[in-house]
Structure 1
Amino acid sequence: MPYDTYPAPTPLVRSLTTLPWNPSTYWGTGRIAPTIPNSRSMPEPKAMANRLTQLDSVKVPPTFASARNARYTRYTPDDWRASNMSNYMASDRVRGGSERVRYDAARLCREIDDKTNRTQTDVGKKLGDRIGDIQFWKTEINNETDRVISESEALSRAKGVLEKTLAETENPLHVAQECLYFREKRQGVDLVHDEVEKKLIEEVDIIKRCQEEMRRLVQDSNNQLSLNRAAQHELEKDSSDKFSALNLDSQCHGMRNTSRGLAYHDGVERVDNSTSVPETWAKFSNNNIQRSQSERAASTDKRNQIEQLLNKCHTVMINQWNNVKNALTDRIREYVDAKNKLQTNLSQVLQEISDMEKNIEMLKMTIQAKEAPLQLSQTRLNTRTRRPNVEGCRDPVQHRLVEEVGEIFESIDNLKAKLRESENGLQQLLRMKTSLEQDLSIKSNSLHIDREKCLSLHSQFPMSPRVSSF
């Protein structure tokens, strides 16, 4: 740092008495008899007795000035003694005044030296107090800076856990959506809006709501991190300013009258009204610390919200996952029961079809077996129609033969009606067999979808959001 090498102007003000000449010498006589004009060539004596008056009968004729001066002297001995006494008294008075001035000057110098020393001591004390205040606030600011940095790091870790959990929620969402897609491949009557489908749709809604809350909280965490960084920036800037001020005040505190680099700086003592005062200075740092504390409290609240949201979403999704799993298990049990019943009914229908086919064969054989008795009865009747004359009477045999033919026709009609009924029954059994087989196939497909695909996907929860210690 360059130092000012110009000679400093002396603070003492020169007076006329310190000049190398004495302008008051000429006027010394004027102080004794100020009425004597300096321009007169023939001065008169000072004593009235020695002066020439109008009573003198003899007028001195005009002569040379030297003759007149010799005849009439300028001063008398009294004047000379009075002048000496005046000089003595003036000398004593001047010396007394000079001594008083010297004593006053010495006293003033001592007082000013003492005052200057006291002032410097007081300034040094105040500089020491100021350095202590700066160190105190700097320590508080540094501690608060460390705390807000730690809080920001904790919030960043919590946000990282939240973002990781948000990404992992895509797994159960994908599983639920895949199960819904798989169950759309159900067929026929099994394509029903059952409890499993309701739980799956509810699970998708729950996961999407949790994802929306997580995204909102991630955005809020980013905003809070920005506010934390802003508060940290203000604290670091304040700490840097206080570090510079502490170095400068420490440098000032170490300065002495014999220190190097001292110089005059004109006008530096003038007050700048734009600078701060101790109250506003302390309030500025206090406001920065309070702002940082407020942001730290908000950041802690955000971390608590993240922890609560992770716990809530984990609990809700796990419960819904188990509900879907239980609903799938119940639905699979229903499918198995229905399939077993269908298989039992199908077996019974197949057995009934077999019995019905035998019955139809029996009816056909029975109808065929009635042809011979019918032919016999009709042949007998036809043979008896050839009886001659009165022999062709309607005797009991004739009546019985006619009844026999009627009974045989009626039996054949009844058998044929029963045959048609049996054949219709067989067709219904065959249609039922086809329907049962189709329904059994549908149930097998639905059972395969729910048990082999959906339940296998829901066997284990595909994410484990653990709330770590932030």
Structure 2
Amino acid sequence: MELVGSTLTATYAHPQPAPTSFLPAVGTVTSSYRDRFPHHNLAHSLSLPWRPNTYYKTVSNYPTLSPYCTRAQRVCESTMLPFVSNRTTLFTRYTPDDWYRSNLVNYQESNSSRHNSERFRVDTSRLIQDKYQQIRKTQVDTTQNLGERVNDIAFWKSEITHELDEMIGETNALTDLKRRLERALMETEAPLQVARECLFHREKRMGIDLVHDEAEKELLTSLLSPSFIVTAVAPSVSSQVFSSGSSVQQQNGLAKRQVSSLQSLFGENLGLGSVHHPTCVTWLSLHQGSVSDRAAQHELEKDLSDKQTALRIDGKCKDLRNTSEGVSYFRGVERVDATVSVPESWAKFTDDNILRSQSERVASTKLRDDIENLLVVTANEMWNQFNKVNLAFTNRIAETADAKNKIHVHLSKTLQEIFQIEMTIESIKKAIKEKSAFLKVAQTRLDERTRRPNIELCRDTAQLRLVNEVYEVDDTIQTLQQRLRDSEDTLQSLVHTKTILEQDLAVKANTLYIDQEKCMSMRKSYPNTLRLVGFC
């Protein structure tokens, strides 16, 4: 095969191969060119301005096909475009029938595509409208359900509020009864208040001085009085019971055990065994009623708080619109089921709380009707206990003062030793600094001697002595540094001991201040016997 001509007009000298089966055959006979439309002669130049003449070349080629017929187009040769023959083209040509069929197929394809697109647009528009109406109806139904839920919550909230007001009134009435009970024992309350204040102040003791000594035991024993349960035990037992987080039955059992154990404790301290006083029974009944009322009130308040929160949230959800602020996507929230109840159990929970509160109010009312009076112990027992407490305080103050004086002595000795060890550390540092100068000189000499030339680098006696000197001085410095570290450790130990002594001294001073200034200053006066028995 020989390539003839330029790049753009190249042809092949050999015959053109047969057309492939997927393209129609190109004919050159006259019958294949039918007059589909009149042909107009070209009046303008037939030259192709975009193709330079230099690209064309005369080729001696003898085609095997018949010459191109121009009779059908009625164009004279002088004005006919000099087309290159079919044999010499690079691309296969089609017939006009193929051209018209191709256009027809394109038209049909265009009509079909536009028809399908139009039908798709209509269906999509209808789908959008249907889904919008469906979602709109669903949203309206949901809003209506939320409104019904808000109404239910508001109803139960009003019921809880009403019952809570009733329970608060009953609790206040029970508290007033307790105050009346305390006022009946007012004459015996002042000494017990002093004992409580002493115990309270002694709780501020620090460290090792927070000891359960004789003074504290006598103070606790002094609380064994007719007003013991009302004024002393009630706050401690109540704080433990209410902070236990248990049920009412468990709280009442805990209160009984606390009262019983405290009665036994103080009875044993007095050598009387377990003490049982009508005051204990009266206060215990009062306490049980107070615990039950507070537990029911707490449940109502908690339920009311939950209802208020739920009412606020559901009200906000009911008022949300598509244009509301704060509306956003929360992916996967529909798959999270955090519910813990159904409408039936939800309503039953609140109804049970209300029924329980009503039952507790009935029991509390009966309790208030049953409580009548208290008994008073004799003033001689309180006076004897008062003297025992003062004696225990006096002995404890003397012991603490003696310990404080001894700590002062040890602290002074420790401070003196700290001063001495600090002076030792300074002397060691000074010695290390002095030895460092010797080490520098020896190492400098060795370094200078390394610059001796050739055979002069002799391992002589001076060289050996310098090396030994470096090792000796370095060993001395290491020994001094180790001694410095040991001294610093000793100093740290002394400082730690000083800190402990100072802290212990502060603890003893605090204990003396509490026992001598706080407690004993309050115990300078005491009610007489007539006032203790309530005659004046």
The verdict on a shared fold, with TM-score over 0.5 as the criterion, is no
Higher relative CO (Cα under 8 Å, sequence separation at least 6) belongs to: 1
- TM-score, normalised on structure 2? 0.35
- TM-score, normalised on structure 1? 0.40
